Structures are given as C-alpha cells and as structure tokens.
Amino acid sequence: MINIKLAELLGKHKMTRKRLAELTDTRPNTIGDLYNEKCKKIDIEVLNKICTVLECNIEDILEYKKDGDNK
C-alpha cells in the first residue's frame, strides 16, 4: 500500500492546499485528491513540482507499507 503524506507535509509547512496548487501551477482538485489520498495515479511532473516547492524528497510525500502492516 502506498500512503500519501501530503496532509502531514502541508501541516509542517503551514501551507494550504490552495497555496500549493498556486505555487505548483496544478489544479486544486489534483492537490485535493493527493491530500485526501483519493488518487489512483500521480503525475511525476506534479510530484516534481511539489518536491521543489516544499523543498522535500519523494519519500517525504510517498510511503510504502506492505499490505497488512499496521506500523
């Protein structure tokens, strides 16, 4: 299972989804889907823009956990 940690990351940066959408030139709905972990696919360019704006690494946004792993 892949977890998307965008909500946590935005909290650390004290940034709204709207502001991130503006800074990354990404549709607010796309950011909202990532924030709420409702997306099935993620565009690499969107991830690149988010990493650039938030000055983070990909592993700060995405986390892999084995199915059934509750850690």
Q: Where are the domains of the chain?
A: 2-64
pLDDT at 22: 98
CA distance 17 to 39: 15
pLDDT at 68: 75
pLDDT at 69: 67
The count of other CB atoms within 10 Å of the CB of residue 60 is 16
Q: Which CATH number fits domain 2-64: 3.40.1280.30, 1.10.260.40, 2.60.120.200, 1.20.1050.10?
A: 1.10.260.40
pLDDT of the chain, 71 residues: tens digit per residue = 899 999 999 999 999 999 999 999 999 999 999 999 999 999 999 999 999 999 999 999 999 998 876 65
* 54 neighbors 9 (Cβ within 8 angstroms): yes
Nearest to 39 by CA among 4, 68, 70, 8: 4
CA distance 56 to 38: 22
* 28 neighbors 21 (Cβ within 8 angstroms): yes
